Amino acid sequence: MTTKILINSESYETRIALVENNQLVEFHIQRPLEKGLLGNIYKGKVVRVLPGMQAAFIDIGLDRTGFLHVDDIHISATDLDQRLLGQEQQPCGNFNFSSSFADNEIRPSPGKQIEALLSEGQEITVQVGKDPIGTKGARLTCHITLPCRNLVFMPLTDHIGISRKIEDEALRQTLRERIERLRPLGTGFIVRTVAEYADMEELEADMEFLLHLWDEIRDSIATASAPSLVYEDLDIVFRSVRDLFTAEVNSLVVDDQGTYEKLVHFIAIFAPDLQHRISSYREAIPLFEAHGIEMELSRLMDRKIWLRSGGYIIIETTEALTVIDVNTGRFIGKKDLEETIFKTNMEAVKEIAYQLRLRNIGGIIIIDFIDMADEAHREELLSSFKEVVKKDKSRINILKLTEFGLIQMTRKRNCENLTQILCEPCHYCGGEGRLKSRRTICYEIFRKISKEHHRHQGDRLTIKVHPQIADMLLKEEEQMTLEIELKTQKRFTIIPDFNLHIEKYEFSWQGEKTCLHYWQKIAD
């Protein structure tokens, strides 16, 4: 398999594409004005403790307070092992494994309630484990972790973890023994998958770097006032190299000379054996256009994704839940209905796994496959889906296929998905995706006139509406408009106004100006 990383770096935006066999499989983006917080360490101040939620709100110097759950303050050794097993860093994300406190904090015993751990006004060192999403503030953790290329450092946790993706037991034991010889007493480290091929010198260099970094962070914590930022994680370019640029990647291409020179220097320190795979792109055709990435990105926002057979899937995303619906569409099959449904579902399995990774869809996900009667087909569908999502580095949990053909799953979400990053709610429909029908608005106007007319002595009413509503009032609903005129004893003047939202209208009663604005959300 040919794998390459493409970096399009501009002063206003940096975009990173991971391409496998000429297909875009991951896309990451960072804008200076919308830079993420993931991995940053803050000295914060507790502003509110909520015993009923076993959580606290922490002021870290941002517009919104961060959210800290009791489980992110303390974690038992057993739970720590559960988190460590098989959990590798999400690309361009941050680890969130260890259980550790800042030096000035008391280590709690198991089963402590949050009111026993925190009090309002207390200063606390926290790390951002999840970026703010939608209306929610950043999710915070006291389990501070510092990732490097081969290792992840857990400053105050006495634990050694080995990535589950390193399957050779002899190698796992060798790596564990190496870390045990190198690490300072009482500290913790996770050995990343890429360290499978690392020698003793590389592990020691990573450890030395991380220990020095932690010393600097501790010094910053000691002198900083709360709330304040004490450590900012690498920007997206260096994180992508740290997390994505492995021995399996054939090439890394960057189109900005300044960024190229910084990367060469960075790689010379952390992965000198990969230096020869970095190249600078200087062609006239933009890098992403030359590799067909722009065309792929233009389809990322589509709700409907067509399958090669003629079937399709529809993706609907809310703040915490994503629903994916599978349909046969134009695919009519060749033999029988059951076989047609099975082939559509199996094709959808690969596309859904691909879209989840590419769009970075996280949280709770419900997939509505076309219902199948054959139990063997149902089992094959589930096992195939579990197999194809193994390429995804995010933590995924999949439940059994229900009798209605639904798969319920979760995918770890550290930041907003691509739709949330690249789009914003429609200013016209308010993000609802639907508007009231023209006829509904006309009848709403009739009811409002019937309710209000007796309060006004004049015999004239001017109605200012959107042109589409004016057209319906004067044509399709002409008879009803005349009836309302007779009933209210008012003479209507209907004025179309292109500047009005289609759901807004204004009334003017014989010199009186009473503007009744209707800008209502669609009912559930």
Are 347 and 359 within one domain?
Answer: yes
Alpha carbon separation from 29 to 141, 418, 423 (Å, rounded): 24, 8, 13
Whether the predicted pLDDT of 323 surpasses 90: yes
116 & 165 share domain: yes
Q: Is residue 470's pLDDT more than 90?
A: yes
Which of 90-94, 135-139, 154-158 is predicted with the least confidence, judged by mean pLDDT? 90-94
> Which three-class secondary structure state does DSSP give residue 372?
coil
For position 103, what pLDDT does the model report?
32
Residue 418 lies in domain: 299-422
Say what percent of the chain tops pLDDT 90: 41
Closest by CA to 161, choosing from 193, 127, 191, is: 191
- Dihedral angle sign, alpha carbons of residues 394, 399, 401, 403: negative
Instruction: Give the per-residue pLDDT at 325.
Output: 94
Same-domain pairing of 104 and 226: yes
- Domain membership of residue 347 (yes or no) is yes
**Mind spelling out the 3-state secondary structure of 151-166?**
EEEECCCCCEEECCCC
**What is the C-alpha end-to-end distance of the chain, expressed in Å?**
48
pLDDT for residue 110 is more than 60: no
Separation CA 376–CA 184 (nearest Å): 53
Tell whether 308 and 163 lie within a shared domain.
no
Task: Kindly state whether residues 103 and 156 are assigned to the same domain.
Answer: yes
Sole residue written with tokens 């915490």: 320
Do 469 and 487 sit in the same domain of this protein?
yes
Cα separation, 37 vs 47, whole angstroms: 20
- Regarding whether 270 and 141 lie in a shared domain, the answer is no
* 314 and 448, same domain (yes or no): no
Select the more confidently predicted residue: 229 or 426: 229
* pLDDT number for residue 111: 60
With 0.75 as the threshold, say if the pTM is over it.
no
**Model confidence at 484, in pLDDT bands (50, 70, 90)?**
very high
Domain identity same for 157 and 135: yes
Number of domains in the chain: 4
Average pLDDT of the segment spanning 159-176: 87
Same domain, residue pair 205 and 332: no
Tokens of 370: 């076309």
Return the residue matching tokens 């639907």. Answer: 434
For residue 521, being part of any structural domain is answered with no
Question: Do 227 and 264 belong together in one domain?
Answer: no
Structural domain contains residue 428: no
Extract the runs of DSSP E, i.e. beta strands, from 238-372: 251-254, 278-280, 304-306, 312-317, 321-327, 363-368
Considering the domain architecture, whether residues 184 and 88 belong to the same structural domain is answered as yes
